[in-house]
C-alpha cells in the first residue's frame, strides 16, 4: 500500500510534469524537429532498409527497439491506463509521445556520440556511458546501470511474461506457469545470441505483427464507425474534466487521467527512460542524427499508432464497462467483435509483442551488467539469467498491480536521473543536430559523422 502511494505521488506530482517539461524545452530549442523533419524521418527509415549491410543496420536496430517498445505498453499498458485513468489517459499518452519523440531523438544522439567499441558485440552505449563521460560521474553511472538491471531487466521483463502467460491461461484452462516456461526459454535463446540475432529476429517479426494488429483494429473501427467521433471527443474532454465510470458511481479524476496517461505513455514508447540510447547505440550508421530520426519514428509508431489502435478497440466495443484490466480488457474488446477468435488473436498479438519486448528487456539488463562489471561481466550475466528465470516464473502468478507498482518506482527513478542528464548534456545534442543540417546546407545529401573524434574535445573546439 505504501509503495502504491509513493509511486502515485511521484508520477502525478513530479515525474509526469518533469518529463513533459523537458520534452517541451527540447522541442522549442531544436525548432520542432518531430514536425519539421517527420518526412525526413520516413525517408531515413526507407534508406536504412535499402542500405543494410553485414553489421547491425539502423533499420534492424529500430526494429529491435520497436520490439522492446511494442510489447505490454502498447496492449496491457493502454488497458491499465484506461481502467485506472479513464479515456482522458489516452490524451496524455499522446502528449507524452509528441514531446517524447524529441526526448528519444536526443537520447539516441547521445547514445551514438558517447558509445564505445565492444570487441564481442560491436558498439555499446546508453545513459550510463553519457553520464560517466559527459557528466563525469562514475558513481551515478553505475547506479543508473543497476537501476536498468532491476527496473528494465527484471521488473518490466516480469510484466511481459505475466501478460503472455495469463492471456493464454485465460483461453485454455492451464496454469500460467506452463506457457511462462516456454516463453522464458525462447527469450533466453535469442538473447544469448547477442544483438545481431535480436536485430535479425525483430526485423522479420515486428513489421508483420504491426500490420496484422493494425488491420484487425481497423476492422473494429469500421464496424463501429459512427461512434468514432464520440470516442475521440471523450478522450479529449475527459483529460481536463472528471468523468463517471461506465455503469458505476465512482469515476476518474483529471489527476488520475494525467498520472496514468503519462506513466503508461512513457512505458509504451520508452521516451525518457534512456533504453532507446542503449539499443540505438549499436547501429552502424553514417551520422547520429540518422539514427535519431529512426528513434523518433519508433516513439510515433508505438504510441500514436499502436496505442491509439488499442484504445479505440477497447472504447468502441464498450469493453471498459466489463471492469477488466490489462490484457483481459483487450481480450474482452476483441471478443465483442470476433468472438472466441478475438481472444486467440489477442494472445498471439500479446505473445509476439510481449516476446520481442521481453527479449529486448533482457538485453537491456545484460547491457547494465556489462557496464558495471566490464571485462568480468560473463559470470554476472549468467547469474542474472538464473535469477531472472526464477523471478519471471514467479511473476506469472503474481498480482498485476504489484508488478506495476515496482515498475513505476524503479522506472520513475530512471526517468528522473536520465532527464536531468539529458538537460545538462543538451549542448552535445544541439551540436550534433547543427552539424547534420549544416552539412545538408552545404549540399551533402548524406552527412557523415567522425566517430573516431572524441565528442567532448570536438565541442570544446
In tens, the pLDDT along 339-382 reads: 888 878 877 877 777 787 888 888 889 889 999 998 788 889 99
In a domain, 448, yes or no: no
pLDDT of residue 198: 61
Sequence-distant (≥ 6) Cβ neighbours of residue 344 within 8 angstroms: 171
Angstrom distance (rounded) from CA 348 to CA 319 = 19
Residue with grid cell 525526413, as numbered in its chain: 40
In a domain, 447, yes or no: no
Tell me, what CATH number does 327's domain have?
1.20.1740.10
Domain extent at residue 404 = 2-47+57-442
Name which of 310, 365, 354 is nearest 206 in CA terms: 354
Angstrom distance (rounded) from CA 18 to CA 213 = 33
Return the SS3 of 37: coil
Structure-block grid coordinates of residue 91: 490524451
Angstrom distance (rounded) from CA 182 to CA 393 = 10
Higher pLDDT, 243 or 291: 291
In a domain, 457, yes or no: no
Beta-carbon count within 10 A of 297 CB: 22
* Phi, psi of 44, rounded to the nearest 5 degrees: -65, -40
Beta strands 243-244 and 251-252: pairing type? antiparallel
In a domain, 398, yes or no: yes
State the pTM of this model.
0.87
Name which of 312, 294, 222 is nearest 62 in CA terms: 294
Angstrom distance (rounded) from CA 441 to CA 410 = 43
pLDDT in tens, 371-401: 999 878 888 999 999 999 999 999 988 887 7
In a domain, 311, yes or no: yes
- Alpha-carbon Rg for the chain, nearest whole angstrom, is 21
Alpha-carbon distances, residue 191 vs 141, 150, 273, 408 (angstroms): 24, 17, 21, 25
Mean pLDDT score of the chain:
85
pLDDT in tens, 161-173: 988 888 788 788 8
In a domain, 160, yes or no: yes
pLDDT of residue 356: 77
In a domain, 460, yes or no: no
Contact yes or no for 10/408 (Cβ under 8 A):
yes
Angstrom distance (rounded) from CA 396 to CA 341 = 23
Counting the structural domains of the chain, the total is: 1
In a domain, 426, yes or no: yes
Task: Let me know the angle formed at the C-alpha of 37 by 18 and 434, rounded to the nearest 5 degrees.
Answer: 80
pLDDT in tens, 415-427: 999 999 999 999 9
105-109, 117-121, 158-162: least confidently modelled range: 117-121
Amino acid at each position: 500500500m505504501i509503495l502504491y502511494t509513493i509511486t502515485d505521488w511521484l508520477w502525478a506530482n513530479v515525474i509526469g510534469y518533469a518529463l513533459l517539461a523537458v520534452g517541451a524545452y527540447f522541442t522549442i530549442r531544436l525548432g520542432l524537429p518531430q514536425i519539421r523533419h517527420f518526412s525526413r524521418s520516413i525517408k531515413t527509415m526507407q534508406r536504412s532498409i535499402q542500405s543494410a549491410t553485414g553489421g547491425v543496420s539502423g533499420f534492424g536496430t529500430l526494429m529491435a527497439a520497436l520490439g522492446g517498445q511494442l510489447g505490454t505498453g502498447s496492449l496491457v499498458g493502454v488497458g491499465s491506463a484506461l481502467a485506472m485513468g479513464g479515456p482522458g489517459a489516452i490524451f496524455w499518452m499522446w502528449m507524452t509521445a509528441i514531446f517524447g519523440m524529441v526526448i528519444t531523438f536526443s537520447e539516441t544522439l547521445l547514445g551514438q556520440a558517447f558509445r564505445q567499441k565492444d570487441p564481442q558485440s560491436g558498439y555499446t552505449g546508453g545513459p550510463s556511458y553519457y553520464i560517466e563521460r559527459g557528466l563525469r560521474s562514475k558513481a551515478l553511472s553505475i547506479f543508473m546501470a543497476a537501476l536498468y538491471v532491476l527496473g528494465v531487466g527484471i521488473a518490466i521483463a516480469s510484466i511481459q511474461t505475466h501478460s503472455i502467460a495469463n492471456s493464454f491461461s485465460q483461453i485454455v484452462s492451464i496454469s500460467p506457469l506452463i506457457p511462462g516456461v516456454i516463453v522464458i526459454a525462447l527469450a533466453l535463446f535469442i538473447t544469448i545470441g547477442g544483438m545481431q540475432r535480436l536485430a535479425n529476429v525483430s526485423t522479420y517479426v515486428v513489421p508483420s505483427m504491426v500490420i496484422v494488429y493494425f488491420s484487425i483494429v481497423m476492422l473494429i473501427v469500421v464496424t463501429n464507425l459512427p461512434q468514432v467521433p464520440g470516442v475521440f471527443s471523450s478522450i479529449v474532454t475527459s483529460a481536463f474534466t472528471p468523468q463517471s465510470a461506465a455503469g458505476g458511481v465512482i469515476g476518474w479524476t483529471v489527476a488520475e487521467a494525467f498520472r496514468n496517461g503519462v506513466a503508461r505513455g512513457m512505458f509504451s514508447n520508452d521516451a525518457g527512460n534512456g533504453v532507446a540510447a542503449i539499443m540505438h547505440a549499436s547501429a552502424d550508421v553514417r551520422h547520429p542524427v540518422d539514427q535519431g530520426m529512426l528513434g523518433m519514428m519508433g516513439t510515433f509508431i508505438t504510441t500514436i499508432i499502436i496505442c491509439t489502435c488499442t484504445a479505440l478497440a477497447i472504447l468502441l466495443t464498450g469493453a471498459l464497462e466489463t471492469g477488466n484490466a490489462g490484457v483481459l480488457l483487450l481480450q474482452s474488446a476483441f471478443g465483442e467483435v470476433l468472438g472466441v477468435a478475438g481472444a486467440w488473436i489477442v494472445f498471439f498479438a500479446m505473445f509476439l509483442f510481449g516476446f520481442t519486448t521481453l527479449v529486448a528487456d533482457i538485453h537491456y539488463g545484460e547491457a547494465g551488467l556489462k557496464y558495471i562489471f566490464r571485462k568480468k561481466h560473463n559470470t554476472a550475466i549468467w547469474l542474472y539469467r538464473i535469477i531472472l528465470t526464477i523471478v519471471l516464473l514467479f511473476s506469472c502468478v503474481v498480482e498485476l498491480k504489484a508488478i506495476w507498482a515496482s515498475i513505476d518506482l524503479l522506472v520513475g527513478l530512471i526517468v528522473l536521473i536520465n532527464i536531468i542528464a539529458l538537460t545538462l548534456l543538451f549542448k552535445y545534442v544541439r551540436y550534433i543536430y547543427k552539424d547534420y543540417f549544416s552539412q545538408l546546407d552545404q549540399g551533402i545529401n548524406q552527412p557523415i559523422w567522425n566517430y573516431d573524434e572524441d565528442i567532448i574535445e570536438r565541442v570544446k573546439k
